[in-house]
A and B are shown apart, each in its own frame.
Chain A
Amino acid sequence: MSENMKKDLELDIKNLVVEFRTDAGVTQALNGLDLEIEKGKTLGLVGETGAGKTTTGLSILQLIPDPPGIIVDGSIKLAGEDVMMKSEKEMEKIRGQQVSMIFQDPMTSLNPVMTVEDQIAEVVAIHEVDANGKPIAYSDAIKRAKEMLELVGIPGDRGTEYPHQFSGGMKQRVVIAIALACNPKLLIADEPTTALDVTIQAQVLEMMKGLRDKYGTSMLMITHDLGIVAEICDAVSIIYAGRVIEHGSLEDIFDNTRHPYTEGLFNSLPDLDHREQRLKPIKGLMPDPTNLPKGCAFCPRCDYAMEICQTQKPPRVYRNDEHYVECFLYNEQNIKEGGVIGR
């Protein structure tokens, strides 16, 4: 509690549990996820496919498809206010205004039969009000849309075109323009560059970085790419099977890696300086979320697994105020020193 008092948190997720209940069984998407983003900072949420990254993003907006998804436990606070207490009407005001989301695939996240400026103007028209407190005129919304297009590096007069007339990178710029049109406090970027090729990736990332700094937006960067994390994030949370297993600042995670899974993620990256080195991918696959292991979820794939890992959930061990690991390898002493794992 006292810790939260000193930090000014834009997003504070505590012990979030989300399940998808279908006839085939209960999928445990998130199992007690904790996440904090300070105002103006960027948090990278890193994990494999199916780890619950997107579910986390959708939970913040209360957009988990229900049925079958339900939030079983936990709290999500946006600037101190619990979104689970909000009605659907109140959430509609928050979405796009206070929090917006960039989806993974720009090819499918734009409406094909609407011009791009109409799509940007839509969010402006929904949320922005004029000096009298009335919704702003549509012509003003269009004007704003053109400004947003210029801001993301697209000539404003191309706003009258349809998404299919744009390239992938430009579409993602449009999606970013929509997300930023109402100056949100928090931007959830769900793998925003995964569908783009590398040159465009770099451009888009650079632009997002610039806009984030310009408007002081907090950001949740959902990705599986540690390169992007190094580029843009202030803090990193590593998520595995719906739980944050290691969290820390960029330096903590990159230079003082503690969790075997995080180590595995780094070892899966090709190293240009040592090309003769073989890649060491993490063996096996994510555990079946309908049937998670009793102990540590990573235990079946872990090179350092011990007997205790199979039966008990590892406790959280702190290395400093921020950096923590959930792993039995560590106790108060050896976590400071490191050297327990190969990295």
Chain B
Amino acid sequence: MAKNNTNVNGEAVVKKQNQWVEAWKRLTKNWSAMAGLAILVIIILAAIFADVLYDYDNVVIKQNISARLQAPSAEHWFGTDEVGRDVFARIVHGARISLAIGLSANVVSLTIGGILGACAGFYGGKLDMIIMRIMDVFLAIPGTLLAICIMAALGSSVTNVVIAMAVSGCPGYARIVRSAVMPVRDMEYVEAARAIGCTNKRIIFAHVIPNSLAPIIVQATMHVASVILTIAGLSFLGLGISPPTPEWGSMLSAGRAYIRGNSYLTMFPGLAIMITILALNLLGDGLRDALDPRLR
């Protein structure tokens, strides 16, 4: 909706309402998405200011055997682990690693998989065939197994985890983007765009992709969640981030031995994973509703 304002000269000025502004307005009306977003913002802020809250070397890494296995208390909110480190501090720093890897792996696979999928879907024919069969080869290997293979081949480091996650995420994106692009490609407005002289590049980026964004955004938010989960899984198996780096999965793994007497060692990292993923999924669903022009 355009609103008429007047500028200093008294002329009518039309304030342009961006589609993203409108989408944001609709998003704010969706309480579950806003709850997801709020939780996510808290986690992101915690990750950004983790160093301010807890010193990495002195609190998160340094062992303090005298304070080992303490139950949650005012001093240690989530208790201490088997070598006396504060669990809350480690979870806060763990958020940093999980989110950083989740986002960066996601950006890489979205870019590569997205462009491959868009080309496959838009041009179709032989190109589609070649790209999608290669993607099928990747899809034939379970994502975690593929990541394990890559980690085993490259060795475990943060960069390698990102590479492994990015590679295993590509086929999923390629499929989603391709299937989102295909119906849009045949829309009359794409033909109309061609009839006014748009180049293929312009048609893909200005007409086709904006119209197929909704499923891609949902996939992107959900995929961050699944990457975080896979990293946790890898670390749990001892293949992801190696101790003493505070990673939620490896914390779960370490707490496993004490699950009977000190269940909070596994409960809190588990909760951190669960809440983060829940928040991402809620936001993803909300974004899909907000961005779908048919629901406006």
Contact = CB atoms under 8 A, between A and B. Distances in A.
A96 B2 contact: no
Contact of B211 (A92, A111, A123): A111
Given A110-B189, A157-B2, A157-B4, A178 B196 contact: yes
Interface string B199-220: 1001000110011010000000
A93 B196 CA distance: 9
Contacts of B207: 111, 114
A108 B19 contact: no
B188 A103 contact: yes
B-side binding surface: helix, strand, loop or mixed? helix
B2 A113 contact: no
Contacts of A161: 1-2
A108 B187 contact: yes
B296 interface: yes
Contacts of A175: 192
A162 B206 contact: no
Nearest to B2: A160
Interface of B: 1-2, 4, 12, 14-17, 19, 125, 187-189, 191-199, 202, 206-207, 210-211, 213, 293-294, 296
Contacts of A164: 293, 296
A108 B294 CA distance: 13
Nearest to B208: A111
Interface of A: 61, 63, 67, 92-97, 100-101, 103, 105, 108-115, 122-123, 126-127, 156-162, 164-165, 175, 178-179
Contacts of A110: 189, 192
Given A113-B210, A161-B1, A161-B2, A92 B198 contact: yes
Given A160-B16, A160-B17, A161-B2, A111 B189 contact: yes
A114 B198 contact: no
A130 to B, nearest CB: 18
A159 B14 contact: yes
Contact of B197 (A93, A103, A108): A93
28 contacts: A92-B197, A92-B198, A93-B197, A95-B196, A96-B196, A103-B191, A108-B187, A109-B189, A110-B189, A112-B189, A112-B211, A112-B293, A113-B210, A113-B293, A114-B206, A114-B210, A115-B19, A122-B196, A122-B206, A123-B196, A123-B197, A157-B2, A157-B4, A159-B2, A159-B14, A160-B16, A161-B1, A164-B296
B211 A113 contact: yes
Contacts of B196: 95-96, 100, 122-123, 126, 178-179
A96 B296 contact: no
Given A160-B17, A164-B296, A111 B193 contact: yes
B213 to A, nearest CB: 8
Q: Which of B193, B206, B210, B294 is the most central at the interface, judged by chain A CB atoms within 10 Å of its CB? A: B193
B211 A100 contact: no
